[in-house]
């Protein structure tokens, strides 16, 4: 498809824009319309069957029905379940307004279970309080709501645009308030802009964060269409998010992407057991501590874990089947039947879901007050997206109602929509079309969510979370390279960008909270204790003016309802700024930090090379000349056809021509590339050098190419000189004189390439002369090079063996393993085993592999007690060369119990 121009956007206008047509969104739209607002409801699917509610609902988890439960008891219960970190004013809204919402839904036609006397049949599932209200016809809830939206009086005020996916909330450049959204049509691909008086985000949780055990991208516990859209949109609009480190993790049926529904089975007498049939959960149902106990049991010898139903009478089993196989998941009965399982004879094996972000089932979401307002003026959040802990379906309806009522005060924005924000949204949406053969969305998303499982899922550590941040930073580029050809693929690609944003939020937030809280939801192995003194705080994150993710620790406000064990004092917030990553060792601890080499001064009158930032090219990637060139390259042109582009005045065109030359390689390509090594533009020189390195094995090494490469040794750009030496060496077009001359080059990298070239022609005297090079890295290359010539001898290593730098001495000692280690050198190596630098000791151990056994073995046996594992490993490898000696075998036998895995593994080879 063609990419639509921004100027061709379809513009819509409304007083209240509702994004998301699920539970909270439909209620927000209804309430706003009832208050007189013109409402636009955008849904990326179809409102009739969108959102988690469309999958059916078997009951209300948090119905505070008068006479059966008290609002204050519910608020206290949620406070305890969330380890004290709650804004009780928001939880109290659900507690006090929930029953009226039940009655409102009932007036719409939603059915709630009642007893023989017409009273609500509330059940007790939690350890305290009765809050569960079954819904016998819960599978029809969304149908009932859609019917309300389509009533005539609602149709006059609510415009529904299905198959339109917003990607960014637009904000006013003057005061930062929400003024609309940028979106696209997921069927036609049209760009859509919306101007609004207020915006309500109701996009649900980020259920597609962790990867299910099945590996199936959409086999998630939550509705898989909920990819964190609202989390990302709120973040980029400048809103604060909170509790993102508090994950959603649930028990589920093993191998099936659906809940085990122990809370549904509990009123019928079902419960969770280990393999011994023992009940093991001590904590309450809706806490992260329960999930910690569940995970511990599952990982112990008492696992697996089951939902026990087989002991129940027939009528209870039949009732459960009616609920679980219809309302909850219609495929559930098919799943059990396929395995030959029946609740009457088989208990249900359970497992743990992937991680997600969800306010309604945990606490992670967009920060809101008790009217669903976010920290961005006129931007609201409701439902699972909002951070109102354990809010569930009734809470989503309540906050949708609150948001719709408050937002109805505003009228449509009449100013100009910000061009920069529209351009950024347009780029986010359509960039995959410019790269149709790029990595497909399923492949990129799988990799991204695999990283989430590997590094972010609990139990957490600072090291793993830091690796996660690095991985997600890295994947920003991969996501930008994703390819798409259809509008549906565009939608999925945009979702991957949302998932990445949520993954980074989850990792950085988890790093910032340096304690453990909420059981399994935020279990830090490196900070295992709960710290109420320092961390009875909300952890807010937001996007700073510089684009960084920054954090604030916001004290929990004094409670409206006192709760034993927690005493928040309020007070000022603690600004944390950007979170520090934990250093992650990849090669063990260092005894000393490496010393950076001195920077080489730029060659007078010449550019510094690719290390410098190249000046902007006169043209651009969309230049007509480049487009002509790309079309020409498809025809495998000869050199004459490419020459006009290679000499074009525009360096961007010349660089593209060099790339085309590297792809097509017509006769004469080698000399043409060497000519570009002297180009005035760094970008062209860099492209030519890269092409030469890539093609060095296929270019014919004629005299013309050799002449061009020698000429390139005088180019001021050191990257060019290095590439020329590499090509001369590989193509055997150079000689000792040319290579030796380059040992005087000002750039150490060039001199290292000269050393390698001299090794290729066995120029030992010239190599030995380079042992006095001022750069340590060159001298190390010389030591290794002297061990690689065809007729190596230890003599040229003498100055390097006494070099002042330990890395050079270590390399020279290690070279003795190849050049030979006669008695005098063996004594030097034995003495070096006592050197203060472990690199020297490791080199000495390696060198002794070529020494006489009677000298080497006793010294190497002692080296097996060295404090450094790399020294011990080198000693083991050297002893393997002497394994015929009984003393060597005896020493190796002691190393098989070394604490280092590599040492043990190599020592084991002696057996």
Predicted confidence at residue 611, as pLDDT, reads 39
- Residue 387: predicted pLDDT: 96
Does the pLDDT value for residue 6 go beyond 50? yes
Question: 193 in helix, strand or coil?
Answer: strand
pLDDT range class, residue 655, cuts 50, 70, 90: very high
Q: What percentage of the chain carries pLDDT values higher than 90?
A: 69
Give the mean pLDDT of 599-621.
44
pLDDT of residue 615: 40
- Residue 820, pLDDT > 80, answer yes
Give the pLDDT score at 327. 64
Segment 765-784 mean pLDDT: 94
Sign of the Cα torsion 104, 107, 109, 110 reads positive
330-363, pLDDT tens digit by residue? 788 888 889 888 889 888 899 999 999 999 889 9
Whole-model pTM? 0.75
Query: Rounded to whole angstroms, how far apart are CA atoms 691 and 657?
Result: 11
Query: Over the range 884-897, which residues count as b (16 or more CB within 10 Å of their CB) and which as e?
Result: ebeebbebbeebbe
Q: Helix, strand, or coil here: 542?
A: strand
Among the ranges given (86-100, 616-630, 768-782, 857-871), the one the predictor scored with the smallest mean pLDDT: 616-630
Q: Is the pLDDT of residue 714 over 80?
A: yes
Confidence at residue 147, expressed as pLDDT on a 0 to 100 scale: 85
pLDDT higher than 80, residue 177: yes
**Residue 551 CB partners (closer than 8 Å, separation 6+):** 508, 509, 512, 539, 540, 541, 576, 577, 578, 579
Pairwise pLDDT comparison (542 vs 612), residue with the higher score: 542
CA–CA distance, 647 with 560 (Å, rounded to integer): 76
Query: How much is the pLDDT for 125?
Result: 65
> Residue 627: its pLDDT value, please?
87
Residue 619 pLDDT exceeds 70: no
The label of the residue with tokens 């007078």 reads 604
Contacts of 468 (CB under 8 A, 6+ apart): 451, 452, 454, 455, 456, 503, 507
What is the spatial distance between Cα 568 and Cα 554, in angstroms, rounded to a whole number? 11
If you average pLDDT over residues 609-622, what whole number do you get? 42
Please report the pLDDT score of residue 645 as a whole number: 94
832-861: average pLDDT:
96
pLDDT tens for each residue of 91-103: 999 999 999 999 9
Q: Determine what percent of the chain is predicted with pLDDT higher than 70.
A: 93
Q: Which residue has the higher pLDDT, 758 or 588?
A: 758
For 267-284, the pLDDT digits (tens) are 777 888 899 888 887 776
Average pLDDT value for residue range 800-820: 95
850 CB neighbour count, 10 Å cutoff = 21
Average pLDDT of the chain is 90
pLDDT in tens, 380-401: 999 999 999 998 899 999 999 9
Tens-place pLDDT, residues 859-871? 999 999 999 988 9
User: Model confidence at 126, in pLDDT bands (50, 70, 90)?
Assistant: low
Report residue 605's pLDDT band, with 50, 70 and 90 as the boundaries.
very low
Name the pLDDT band for 905 (thresholds 50, 70, 90). confident
Please report which confidence band the pLDDT of residue 31 belongs to, taking 50, 70 and 90 as the band edges. Answer: very high
Taking alpha carbons only, the member of 626, 615, 616 closest to residue 657 is 626
Tell me which long-range contacts 424-430 makes (C-beta under 8 A, separation of at least 24). Answer: 424/168, 425/167, 425/168, 425/182, 426/6, 426/182, 426/191, 428/167, 428/168, 428/494, 428/497, 429/167, 429/182, 429/184, 429/191, 429/490, 429/494, 430/3, 430/4, 430/184, 430/191, 430/490
d(CA 472, CA 309): 43
- Dump pLDDT digits (tens) for 672-713: 999 999 999 999 999 999 888 878 777 888 899 999 999 999
Residue-level pLDDT at 529: 96
């Amino acid at each position: 498809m063609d990419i639509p121009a921004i100027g061709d956007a379809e513009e819509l206008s409304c007083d209240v824009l509702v994004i998301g047509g699920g539970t909270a969104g439909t209620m927000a739209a209804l309430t706003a319309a009832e208050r007189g607002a013109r409402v636009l409801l955008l849904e990326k699917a179809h409102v009739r069957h969108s959102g988690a509610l469309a999958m059916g609902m078997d009951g209300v988890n948090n119905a505070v029905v008068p006479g059966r439960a008290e609002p204050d008891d519910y608020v206290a219960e949620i406070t305890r379940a969330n380890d004290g970190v709650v804004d009780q004013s928001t939880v109290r809204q659900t507690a006090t307004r929930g029953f009226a919402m039940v009655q409102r839904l009932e007036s719409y036609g939603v059915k709630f279970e009642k007893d023989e006397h017409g009273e609500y049949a509330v059940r007790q599932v939690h350890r305290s309080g009765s809050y569960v209200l079954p819904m016998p016809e819960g599978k029809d809830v969304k149908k009932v709501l859609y019917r309300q939206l389509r009533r005539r009086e609602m149709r006059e005020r609510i415009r529904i645009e299905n198959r339109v996916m917003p990607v960014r909330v637009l904000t006013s450049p003057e005061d930062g308030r929400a003024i609309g959204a940028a979106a696209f049509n997921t069927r036609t691909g049209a760009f859509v802009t919306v101007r609004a008086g207020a915006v309500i985000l109701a996009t649900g949780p980020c259920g597609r964060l962790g990867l299910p055990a099945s590996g199936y991208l959409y086999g998630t516990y939550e509705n898989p269409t909920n990819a964190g859209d609202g989390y990302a949109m709120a973040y980029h609009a400048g809103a604060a998010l909170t509790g993102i480190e508090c994950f959603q993790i649930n028990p589920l049926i093993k191998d099936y992407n659906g809940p085990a529904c122990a809370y549904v089975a509990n009123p019928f007498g079902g419960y969770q057991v280990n393999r011994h049939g023992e009940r093991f959960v001590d904590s309450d149902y809706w806490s992260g501590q329960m999930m910690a106990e569940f995970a511990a049991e599952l990982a112990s010898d008492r696992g697996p874990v089951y939902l026990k139903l087989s002991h129940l009478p027939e009528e209870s089993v039949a009732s459960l089947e009616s609920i679980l196989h219809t309302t909850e998941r219609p495929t559930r009965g098919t799943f059990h039947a396929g395995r030959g399982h029946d609740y009457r004879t088989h208990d249900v094996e359970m497992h743990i879901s992937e991680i997600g972000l969800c306010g309604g089932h945990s606490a992670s979401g967009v920060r809101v007050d008790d009217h669903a307002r976010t920290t961005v003026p006129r931007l609201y959040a409701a439902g699972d997206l909002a951070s109102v802990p354990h809010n569930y379906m009734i809470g989503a309806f309540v906050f949708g109602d609150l948001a719709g009522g408050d937002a109805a005060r505003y009228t449509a924005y009449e100013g100009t929509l910000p061009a920069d924000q529209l351009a950024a949204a347009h780029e986010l949406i359509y960039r995959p079309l410019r790269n149709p053969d790029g990595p497909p969305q399923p492949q990129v998303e799988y990799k991204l969510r695999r990283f989430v499982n590997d590094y972010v899922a609990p139990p957490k550590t600072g090291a793993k979370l830091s690796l996660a941040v690095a991985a997600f930073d890295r994947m920003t580029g991969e996501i930008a390279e994703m390819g798409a050809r259809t509008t549906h693929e565009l939608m999925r690609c945009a979702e991957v960008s949302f998932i990445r944003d949520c993954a980074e939020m989850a990792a950085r937030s988890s790093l910032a909270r340096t304690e453990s809280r909420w059981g399994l939801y935020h279990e830090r192995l490196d900070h295992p204790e709960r710290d109420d003194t320092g961390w009875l705080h909300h952890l807010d994150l937001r996007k700073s003016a510089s684009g960084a993710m920054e954090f604030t620790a916001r004290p929990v406000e004094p409670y409206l309802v006192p709760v034993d064990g927690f005493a928040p004092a309020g007070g000022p917030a603690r600004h944390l700024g950007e979170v520090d990553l934990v250093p992650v060792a990849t090669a063990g601890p260092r005894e000393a930090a490496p010393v950076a080499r001195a920077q080489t001064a730029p060659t007078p009158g010449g550019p510094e090379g690719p290390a410098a930032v190249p000046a902007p090219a006169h043209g651009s990637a969309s230049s007509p000349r480049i487009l002509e060139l790309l079309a020409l390259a498809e025809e495998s042109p000869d050199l004459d056809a490419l020459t006009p582009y290679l000499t074009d005045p525009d360096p961007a065109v010349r660089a593209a021509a060099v790339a085309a030359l590297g792809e097509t390689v017509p006769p004469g390509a080698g000399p043409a590339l060497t000519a570009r090594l002297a180009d005035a533009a760094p970008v062209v020189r860099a492209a030519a050098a890269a092409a030469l390195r890539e093609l060095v094995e296929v270019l014919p090494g004629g005299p013309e190419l050799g002449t061009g490469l020698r000429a390139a040794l005088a180019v001021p750009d050191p990257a060019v000189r290095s590439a020329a030496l590499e090509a001369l060496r590989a193509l055997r077009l150079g000689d000792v004189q040319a290579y030796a001359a380059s040992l005087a080059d000002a750039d150490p990298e060039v001199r290292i390439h000269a050393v390698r070239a001299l090794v290729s022609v066995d120029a030992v005297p010239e190599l030995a002369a380079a042992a006095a090079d001022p750069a340590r890295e060159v001298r190390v290359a010389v030591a290794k090079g002297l061990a690689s010539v065809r007729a190596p001898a230890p003599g040229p290593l003498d100055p390097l063996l006494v070099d002042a730098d330990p890395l050079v001495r270590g390399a020279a000692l290690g070279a003795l393993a190849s050049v030979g280690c006669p008695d005098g050198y063996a004594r030097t190596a034995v003495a070096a085993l006592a050197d203060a630098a472990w690199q020297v000791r490791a080199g000495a151990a390696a060198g002794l592999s070529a020494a006489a056994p009677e000298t080497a073995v006793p010294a190497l046996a002692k080296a097996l007690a060295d404090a450094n594992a790399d020294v011990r490993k080198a000693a083991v490898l050297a002893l393997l060369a002497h394994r015929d000696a009984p003393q060597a075998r005896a020493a190796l036998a002691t190393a098989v119990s070394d604490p280092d895995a590599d040492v043990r593994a190599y020592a084991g080879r002696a057996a």
